[in-house]
Amino acid sequence: MYGGVSSLLGDETELDFFAALNSNPQLDNIHFDDVDFDLVRKKGNEKVQIDLFLFNKNSMAIIEVKRHLQSKHLDDLYNRIIPRFIRLFPEHKDKLLYAGLATYAIPKRAKPYVKKRIDKYGFALLTPNRDHTAINVDAQAMRAISV
């Protein structure tokens, strides 16, 4: 039953970040018109699930939510989720694509790797503030991803 508990905690984490972004749909200086939760598309054998999807007329952002961020999550977002999104959502090809990860915690041993990958991939990093009443968005490295 541990898997069930873990799944519930993951869902709760996604809902927390969804609520925060829904009340203030902005990453750095980019304001988004809307936020979607748990966006899924499947075509043939290929499937992509986007935890949070922010969009406006010209831009969109994919946010992968993890309760505890591990270094492999950054590589997975860049190497698997983003390419699948681009293939399965061709109607968004004319928009600027941004990406980021939202998390409650980054293990101490993973922090240097996470920082390097955030900079390399151009991701935003979303974390709760100290009392969990709002989110902090570190978008210093954020840049549009080639579609």
**CB half-sphere exposure, 126, CA atoms < 13 A:** 27
Q: What is the pLDDT of residue 133?
A: 59
Q: What is the pLDDT of residue 147?
A: 62
What pLDDT digit, counting tens, does each position of 118-141 carry?
Answer: 999 999 999 988 766 567 888 888
Write down the pTM of the prediction: 0.88
User: What domains does the chain contain, in order, with CATH numbers?
Assistant: 2-138 (3.40.1350.10)
User: Which residue, 66, 62, 96, is CA-closest to 81?
Assistant: 62
What pLDDT digit, counting tens, does each position of 100-112 carry?
Answer: 999 999 999 999 9
What pLDDT digit, counting tens, does each position of 38-59 carry?
Answer: 999 999 999 999 999 999 999 9
